[in-house]
Amino acid sequence: MITRFGDFAQSNQMVRLLTGAQTRARDIQAQLGSGKVAEQFGQLGVKTHQLLDAKTSVQQVRQFQADNQLVQSRLEVMESAIASVFDLGSRLKTLTIQRLSDGAAVPGTIAIEAELMLEQVASALNVDVDGRHLFAGSRIDTAPVDLDQASYYQGDQIALSAKIDVDLSITYGMTADREGFDQLIEAFRTVIDADPAGDRAQLEQTLDLLNQALPKIADDRAEAGARHTQIERVNQIHTAAELYLEREISTIEDVDVAEAVTRLTQDQVALEAAMATIARLNQLSLTDFLR
C-alpha cells in the first residue's frame, strides 16, 4: 500500500491526539479513584502555595481551638469552686446572724460546723486539674491554701494567662489570696474563736467580714464566667475560619466528580474518533491514492 505524505502526517497527528486523550483519560480515572486532583503538591502549579498556606492556617486554627477548650475546662472547674466557696460563706453568714439573734444560744454551737466548712473552702481553693492547681498562680504544683499557716496562701502572684488567637491573649487565672477569699477565711477563723467564747464583738466582726467578702467572691465567679464566654466566642470564630479553610483546600485539591466525568466522556469520544480515523487511514489502497 502506498501512503501519501499528507495521509502520513495526518496519521501521526491522530496518533498524537490518541496518545494525549489516553493520557488524560488515565489521569482522570486516577483522580476519580483517589478523589484528589494531584498526587503531589508540585502538580498543582500556581495553586501549590495557596494550598500550603491554607493547610498551615487550618492547623493553627485547630491548635487554638484545642488549647482554648482546655482553658475553658479549667475555667469551668474554677467557676464551680468559687460557687462552692460562695455557698459556704453564705451558710456561715446565716449561722452568724442566727447566733447573734439568739441570746440564749449555747456557746460553740456553730464553731464545729464552721471548722468543717472552712476545710471545704480550703479544699475548693486547692482544686487541681491534671495535677495543676488552679488558684496558686504560677506555682501550679503547690496547693495554695494551708490552714495550718497563719498566712495561709502558698502560691504566688502570677495569674495564669493564655493566647487564644493570633493577636489576643487573656489573663484567666485568679489566686486564692484574692481579697474576697482572704476576708472569708478570716471570717471563718474569727467565728471559730468567737463562738465558744460568746464574744459578740468578734461575731459582729465576722458578719462584717462576710458582708465584704461575699460580693467580691460573686464578682470573682462572674469574672471566670466572662472569660469562659469570651473564649467561647473566639472559638466560634475559629470554627468559622476552619470551615472556610477546609472549603478552600477542598476546592484546590479535591476532584469535581461531575466535571471530571464530563471530561472523561469527552476524551473517550475523542479516543474513539481518533482510532476510527487511524483505522481508515491505514486501510487506504493504491486505488484510493490514485483518486
Cα 120 to Cα 203: distance, rounded to the nearest angstrom: 21
pLDDT over 70 at 287, yes or no? no
> Are residues 287 and 232 part of one domain?
no
> Are residues 212 and 271 part of one domain?
no
Q: Dihedral of CA 119/137/80/63: which sign?
A: negative
> Are residues 232 and 268 part of one domain?
no
> Are residues 214 and 79 part of one domain?
yes
Please state the domain count of the chain: 2
- At 171 the three-state DSSP class reads strand
Cell 468543717: give the residue.
Answer: 116
> Are residues 276 and 238 part of one domain?
no
Beta bridge partners of 36: 254
Of 119 and 267, which is predicted with more confidence?
119
Q: Which domain, by its residues, includes 234?
A: 67-249
> Are residues 284 and 188 part of one domain?
no
Cα 131 to Cα 129: distance, rounded to the nearest angstrom: 5
Could you tell me if residue 115 is inside a domain?
A: yes
- Of 80-84, 129-133, 160-164, 267-271, give the range with the top mean pLDDT: 80-84
Q: What is the pTM of this model?
A: 0.74
pLDDT over 90 at 54, yes or no? no
> Are residues 165 and 102 part of one domain?
yes
Q: Tell me what the mean pLDDT of segment 90-100 comes to.
A: 95
Cα 284 to Cα 189: distance, rounded to the nearest angstrom: 113
pLDDT band at 284 (very low <50, low <70, confident <90, very high): low
Cα 78 to Cα 252: distance, rounded to the nearest angstrom: 44
Q: What is the CATH number of the domain that holds 127?
A: 1.20.1330.10
> Are residues 204 and 289 part of one domain?
no
Cα 241 to Cα 243: distance, rounded to the nearest angstrom: 5
How far, in Å, are 37, 138, 151, 175, 178 from residue 220 at the CA level? 54, 18, 21, 10, 9
pLDDT over 70 at 28, yes or no? no
Neighbours of 159 (CB within 10 A): 12
